[in-house]
Amino acid sequence: MDKSVLHLENADIYQRDNLVLSKVNLTVKSGDFYYLIGKTGSGKSSLMKTLYGDLKLQKGIGNIVGFDLKKLKEKEIPFLRRKIGIVFQDFKLLSDRNVFDNLDFVLKATGWKDKAKMKAKIHEVLEKVGMKSSYYKKTYELSGGEQQRVAIARALLNDPELILADEPTGNLDPKTSLEVMHLLNEIHQNGKTILMATHDYQLIVKFKQKTIKCEGGVLFEVAQRTV
């Protein structure tokens, strides 16, 4: 299992008309875990948004889970997002629904039809993140850490080839951040590929993984000891 799930070659990353990262070269293989670090405004978020189809790749080569980012059409974006799981800093859960219905909504939106299979899948991913017993709670009744667990469960629903986690611990206190990181680590050990943008250096030091950095308009890999 050494296939690449993400490959960028001389890719220029733009935020509107501004070039934020130039000539990005990056290959993420199945089973890898990469941290993406860099100061605010260094291009981390723009890179992430380009990977899940929010920003267009204008220059260079970009392939992610079988999709060509340069040729990606608007109508293909939902199909791309079925093959990647996205975890956001602010959870992006629907506050008017309970946990089960949040996940049910995603399955319906991604083409699932069989109610029994949907229910089984929802309970399976909630079990993985330790939230099965809270399936009936409204999301606003949950703590930040619990909401992020649900968001991670949501990212796992379609068995993604790649999980993009954009500052997943950014809104959490240190203790909760550690718990969420343990969970992501466990998911990685079970075979998932993860690219995680973060500015939490405590986590990077504690959970050692490959690290790439955005700085001065370029992306480069950093040795663990210099992080």
Contact 66, 144 (CB under 8 A): no
Q: How far apart are CA 156 and CA 153, in angstroms?
A: 5
Amino acid at 203: L
Six token digits for residue 216: 């001065």
Q: How far apart are CA 85 and CA 165, in angstroms?
A: 8
Separation of first and last alpha carbons in the chain: 29
| pLDDT tens profile 58-67 | 999 999 999 9
pLDDT of residue 200: 87
- Indicate the average pLDDT of the chain: 92
| pLDDT tens profile 194-214 | 999 998 888 898 988 999 999
> Mean pLDDT, to the nearest integer, of 106-115?
91
Helix (H, G, I), strand (E, B) or coil at 191: coil
- Cβ neighbours of residue 74 under 8 Å, at least 6 residues apart? none
Q: Looking at the predicted structure, is the pLDDT value of residue 168 above 70?
A: yes
The owner of tokens 């809270």 is 134
Strands (E), the chain: 4-15, 18-29, 33-37, 59-64, 67-68, 84-87, 162-166, 194-197, 210-215, 218-222
Provide the CATH topology of domain 4-226: Rossmann fold (3.40.50)
pLDDT of residue 201: 85
Closest-CA residue to 200 (of 220, 183, 221, 175):
175
Residue 1: pLDDT band (50, 70, 90) is very low
| pLDDT tens profile 11-43 | 999 988 899 999 999 999 999 999 999 988 899
Domain residues of the chain, as ranges? 4-226
Q: How far apart are CA 200 and CA 181, in angstroms?
A: 11
Q: How far apart are CA 56 and CA 61, in angstroms?
A: 12
